[in-house]
Amino acid sequence: MTSWKRFILTVLLATGFLTYPGSLRELHSQEGTLSIEINKGVPKFRVAIADFQARSPEDTVKGLTGEFNAVLFNDIDNAGLFDLVSKSFIPSHSPGTVSELNISDWTNPPVNADVLAFGNAKIEAGQLTVEAHLYDLKNPAAPSIIGRRYRADPTEANARAMAHQFADEIILRLSGGVRGIASTHIAYVHREGRSTEEIYICDYDGYNPHPMRVFNSLSLTPRWSPDNTKIAFTTYRLGNPDINIFSLETNALLSFPRFSGLNTTPAWSPDGEKIAFCSSMHGYPDIYVSDSHGRDLRRLTFSVHHGNNSPVWNPVTGSQIAFVSDRSGIAQLYVMDADGSNVQRLVSEGGWVDAPSWSPDGQFIAFMWKRKSEGGNFDIYILELASRHWIQLTQDQGQNENPSWAPDGKHLVFSSNRSGSYQLYTMLANGKNVKQITSQGKNSNPNWSH
């Protein structure tokens, strides 16, 4: 197979059009064990979440309070940072206010909690009002960690948003300052039946999926800008695969030039001022960089019968770009300086590599890999840049593709056909706590907001 054909197959695989059958046999880590530490030295608190109490007679309050409770519990569970008390251990009489709290109910077996979240919801002046508390049960002298009151119109979306906001505050306080991801979003490629692939956006837990904008043409590879106000993507809406940029603030396309040939896999620089992308405007696919308006175009790689694609910036320094190239005969993972110099191969074992995603702290790169020695499926791996050690996160679960880091550096989203059709899944960066977040249609190529 020629290098050019291999590259086209790489693009098709990255967008979910082609798959390979098979499975891996065992988990591996290169040159010893690479440990992905989720808590990073922060104590793993045992957290109890009492059901918030509905304190208004309106029929809507009970339902909205139930929605708030379900979302808050799910958010804290998804965080993967705490020892979360099972709902089966929660006392039947949950406190709605501080005066109703009996600390021994929550510190004695079987609850044995260190921290408790509790509160109430009601309608005040036509608005849903949630009073939320987080208490340190082991510090009776100064137990209050968080005391908040949230107000908004009484809708399901607002009840969910309040729960997300409170969950993120809990995570921030108990995780050593790590920002929670409950209020983040995921962009991805969605196809329903025989319709055309469109860019969709959903909440981090898969709720509220909706099209970014319907173009009725093939749209692929969505990438959030660092300030989350724009999405760069590949679209065939004018016939040729072009890079487009969509403003979520104005709900309109922004100016970006059309180049000849294939143009795909856009990547924003950390400051949002530049875009790296793959283009075949001069023949074989190469990596180019322009400003965010497509001006000041610079070519970083110069192909000779091979292809280069899928660039991603070091999010901390902005001085390096990781990318995929088949210059060795098959698609492999490389890194170079942002001016195209100092090219280094990152994985030496062989096999087909694609879709690199750089962790927010700059220490790791997640990618999909069909390892030569194992054969079979694509799986998700993480490479530590300093040691060049890697760890495999998925195994024997169909094709697992296109990982993308959450802004907390502790979670990944990826697409997989393990359930039959391609759907989106999230997991911790150590491969645990895997959760399916979409179920309708075909969903692939996710990208997590910042």
| Structure token digits, residue 233 | 């993507």
Q: How far is CA 428 from CA 26, 81, 102, 414, 433, in A?
A: 19, 10, 34, 11, 6
H or E element, residue 66: helix 59-79
d(CA 55, CA 409): 38
Q: Which residue from 16, 8, 4, 3 is spatially nearest to 378, judged by alpha carbons?
A: 16
R_g of the chain computed on alpha carbons: 23
Contact 338, 319 (CB under 8 A): yes
Tell me the sheet residues that pair with 1: none
pLDDT at position 40 is 77
What is the helix (H) or strand (E) element at residue 423, kind and residue range? strand 423-428
Q: How many whole angstroms separate alpha carbon 215 and alpha carbon 198?
A: 7
Looking at residue 33, its pLDDT comes to 55
Residue 447 has a CB neighbour count (10 Å cut-off) of 25
- C-alpha 391, offset from chain centre: 19
Torsion over CA: 244, 250, 252, 256 (sign): negative
5 phi/psi in degrees, rounded to 5: -65, -35
Query: Which amino acid is residue 220, in one-letter code?
Result: L
Residue 265, pLDDT score: 98
pTM for this one?
Answer: 0.91
* Domain coordinates in residue numbering, the chain: 3-34+186-448, 46-174
* Per-position pLDDT tens, the chain of length 450: 444 334 444 444 444 433 333 222 233 445 445 767 787 777 899 999 999 999 998 889 999 999 999 999 999 999 999 999 999 999 988 999 999 999 999 999 999 999 999 999 999 999 999 999 999 999 989 999 999 999 999 999 999 999 999 999 999 999 988 899 999 999 999 999 888 999 999 999 999 999 999 999 999 999 999 999 999 999 999 999 999 999 999 999 999 999 999 999 999 999 999 999 999 999 999 999 999 999 999 999 998 888 999 999 999 999 999 999 999 888 999 999 999 999 999 988 888 999 999 999 999 999 999 986 666 899 999 999 999 999 999 998 999 999 999 999 999 999 999 999 999 999 999 999 999 999 999 999 999 999
| Beta-sheet pairing, 286-291 with 298-299 | antiparallel
What kind of fold does domain 3-34+186-448 have according to CATH? Neuraminidase (2.120.10)
For the chain, the three-class secondary structure string (H helix, E strand, C coil) is: CCHHHHHHHHHHHHCCCCCCCCCCCCCCECCCCCCCCCCCCCCCCEEEECCCEECCCCHHHHHHHHHHHHHHHHHHHHHCCCEECCHHHCCCCCCCCHHHCCCHHHHCCCCCCCEEEEEEEEEECCEEEEEEEEEECCCCCCCEEEEEEEEECCCHHHHHHHHHHHHHHHHHHHCCCCCCCCCCEEEEEEECCCCCCEEEEEECCCCCCEECCCCCCCEEEEEECCCCCEEEEEECCCCCCEEEEEECCCCEEECCCCCCCCEEEEEECCCCCEEEEEECCCCCCEEEEEECCCCCCEECCCCCCCCEEEEEECCCCCCEEEEEECCCCCCEEEEEECCCCCCEECCCCCCEEEEEEECCCCCEEEEEEECCCCCCCCEEEEEECCCCCEEECCCCCCCEEEEEECCCCCEEEEEECCCCCCEEEEEECCCCCCEECCCCCEEEEEEECC
CATH topology of domain 46-174: Rossmann fold (3.40.50)
pLDDT at site 21: 30
- Asked if 227 and 235 count as a contact pair (C-beta separation under 8 A), the reply is no
What is the DSSP secondary-structure string of 88-121?
Answer: GGS-SS--SSGGG--THHHHSTTT--SEEEEEEE
Helix H or strand E segment including 6: helix 3-14
Whole-angstrom distance, CA of residue 324 vs CA of residue 355: 8
Around Cβ 308, how many Cβ atoms within 10 Å? Answer: 26
From the CB of residue 417, how many other CB atoms can be counted at a distance below 10 Å?
18
Can you tell me the distance from the alpha carbon of 338 to that of 319, in angstroms, rounded to the nearest whole number? 5
Give the per-residue pLDDT at 374: 61
The predicted structure's pLDDT at residue 375:
62
